[in-house]
Amino acid sequence: MEGVLVVAEHREGRLSPATFELIALGRALAVRTDGLRVAVLGSGVERIASHVAEHAEVVLVQDPLLREYTPGGYAQALAVVRRSVDPKVVLLPHSSQGFDLAPALAAEWESPIVTNVVGLSIEGDQALAYRKILNDKLVAEVELSSEKPFIITVRPGGKASDPLPSPAPITNASVSIDASKLGARFVRYEKPQVQDIDIASADIVVSAGRGIKEKKNLALVEAFAKALGGVVGASRPLTDMEWLPKTRQVGQSGKTVRPKLYVACGISGAMQHVSGMKDAGTIIAINTDPTAPIFEVAHYGFTANVLELLPAVVKELKGA
Amino acid sequence: MVLNIVVCMKQVPNPDLQFQINPEGTDIRRDALNYRTNGADEYALEEAVRLKEKHGGRVTVITAGPKRTEPMLREALAKGADEAVRVAVDDPAPYDAMKVARILAAAVKTIPHDLVLTGVQSDDHINSLTGGLLAATLGRPHASVVTKVDLSGTTVTASRELEGGDIQVVQLDTPAVLTIQFGTNTPRYAPLPAIMKASRQPIRELGPAALGAATWEDFATGYAFRVHRLSPPEAKGHAEMFTGPVAEQAKRLARLLREKGFYRG
């Protein structure tokens, strides 16, 4: 036994793409262990299970109380899966749901846990996890050893799995979820409805970050965006301060954009932001700190004060 | 009923700085580091103080850290916390979140609590882990990435932020643990008289003995955990860099935008 268990993430009938990233990582790890299985937990999720089975073997657990994610419901279902699968490592996405569930699981299983990892290797009872710390400026290699299964959340954005030549089997596991042990109970979803331009459909997005220092300096970013015929986006801190509406936020908790040109103005490049813009055609970053992680995803980097560079470049463009 | 809220806060090295790795390769060099309050914890504190202002009650701030964390605790007192507790863990770089959570849980158990709030993540390690582990260790229900908290009797209604900006509304029974997201509120500034007052307020210190242990090692987990090595990230793709005077960079950027067809003026 001792295989790799991936916990599929889905919401409102849609699988999270992170699930296939976990399957890709799980396959690599499974080479040295006893195979890879994906737990699909839910109610009326046969279609999702079949989709996952195109990539890996599925353990399907269904119960009306699993219709929506709850930490307690998922933990109860995974306890059942654990008995049949006996995993050495459990992989979850480092997402709002993944890092909600993972610590509960680790505490219950008395398991070692490492979150937000960008790389992982397992050798017997030892795991070596790679994670980025301090604004992604350093990589920490964390070494764990335990006889218990390792609980790992994986930073989204990795390579997704390719489908198998033919679908893998789906095994049903039965469970009876105790309604009094769901933890936080699901009430409803809310989807913010705000009228604004859709930055995700723009060819050119010029985004501002904390480096612009003051709200009034947004005018410099707007002038530059206007010169290029683009729209203004923002990193999270700016929409948190309400300098721009939430609809302009680029990143994990905002919008994912793939414009032809993305200009990051005074944005350090935290994972939360980068995951929302890394696939842009051309990325230009302007930041005074040459070690800022934004320069790792950018194609062109300008190490200047954005407040000086933007007016100067607008002048250059218009003057010629 | 008096509403008792505990806020767990952390002091972190300012992540905007540049860092050097120590000679052993296991931590950053911590001499002359600039520390600040963890960003998300500021929102947790503000949310706690607002709940107190609305429902009445008492806010206790707690941290596990060395003496240098005291100014952070005093600032929290000045912003509306009623009591400050320092769990005297002197490890400057506690990487093992499970051990920290176990220590914090033991300390929180000694304080009346209907709600325990903390930040969704710490700016240095970005684990998003301590709050969840703390809840599980305390045996309390937990909701993470919370952007809105409503309290009615013993029921907490919390809005959790999901990917893409959608919200999931959940309900929990108190006592409950919530991790608060950035931007949930607008943290206040401490008024000067409150700062003066906070500077004279005592900070309660808890050592291992107060939590029924001989040393902090008693809270170690059942598995081995160690930071094997810190290293700079592998320079995967890296931008083609432009440096030099701003005027020169502006010319280069303008030329680049024209060559790539992004400016058609």
Looking at the complex, report in whole angstroms how far the Cα of residue A288 sits from the nearest Cα belonging to chain B.
10
Mean pLDDT lowest among A144-148, A290-294, B87-91, B231-235:
B231-235
Percentages helix, strand, coil for chain B, rounded to the nearest 5?
A: 30, 30, 40
Q: What angle do CA A156, A162, A166 make, to 5 degrees?
A: 140
- Model confidence at A61: pLDDT above 70: yes
CATH T-level fold of A199-319: Rossmann fold (3.40.50)
CATH class of B4-219: alpha beta
Give the separation between CA B127 and CA B121, rounded to whole angstroms: 6
Cβ separation A96–B145 shorter than 8 A? yes
- Model confidence at A270: pLDDT above 80: yes
Find the CB nearest B171 among A184, A261, A302: A184
- Rounded to an integer, the average pLDDT of A16-26 is 96
Q: Using an 8 Å Cβ cutoff, are B175 and B116 in contact?
A: yes
Cβ separation A313–B253 shorter than 8 A? yes
- Rounded to an integer, the average pLDDT of B242-260 is 94
Q: Is A278 on the interface with B (CB under 8 A)?
A: no
Model confidence pLDDT, tens digit, residues A212-234: 999 999 999 999 999 999 999 99
Q: Where in chain A is the domain with CATH 3.40.50.620?
A: 3-181
- Model confidence at A191: pLDDT above 90: no
Query: DSSP string of B204-261?
Result: EEE-TGGGT-SSGGGG--SSEEEEEEEEPPP--S-PEEE-S-HHHHHHHHHHHHHHTT
Q: Using an 8 Å Cβ cutoff, are A157 and A278 in contact?
A: yes
Pick the CATH number of A3-181 from 3.90.1150.10, 3.40.50.300, 3.30.1330.60, 3.40.50.620: 3.40.50.620
Model confidence pLDDT, tens digit, residues B131-141: 999 999 999 99
Helix locations, chain B, DSSP H:
39-55, 70-78, 97-109, 130-138, 192-200, 246-259
Residue B182: how many CB atoms within 10 A of its CB? 21
Q: Is B136 on the interface with A (CB under 8 A)?
A: yes
| Window A:85-104, CB contacts with B under 8 Å | 94-97, 99-100, 102-104
Q: Is A279 on the interface with B (CB under 8 A)?
A: no
- Rounded to an integer, the average pLDDT of B66-72 is 96
Per-residue model confidence (pLDDT) at position A220: 96
Q: Is B199 on the interface with A (CB under 8 A)?
A: no
Q: How confident is the model at residue B101 (pLDDT cuts 50, 70, 90)?
A: very high
Q: What is the mean pLDDT of chain A?
A: 93
Percent of chain A with pLDDT over 90: 83
Cβ separation B224–A139 shorter than 8 A? no
Cβ separation A141–B231 shorter than 8 A? yes
Q: Is A298 on the interface with B (CB under 8 A)?
A: yes
Per-residue model confidence (pLDDT) at position A127: 95
3-state secondary structure (DSSP) of residue A64:
helix
Token pair recorded at residue B199:
């500077």
Per-residue model confidence (pLDDT) at position A146: 95
Q: Is A282 on the interface with B (CB under 8 A)?
A: yes
The ranges assigned to domains in chain B are 4-219
Give the separation between CA B19 and CA A319, rounded to whole angstroms: 41
Q: Where in chain A is the domain with CATH 3.40.50.1220?
A: 199-319
Model confidence pLDDT, tens digit, residues A239-251: 989 999 989 999 9
Residue of A nearest to B234 (CA): A139
State which amino acid sits at residue A258: R
Per-residue model confidence (pLDDT) at position B38: 96
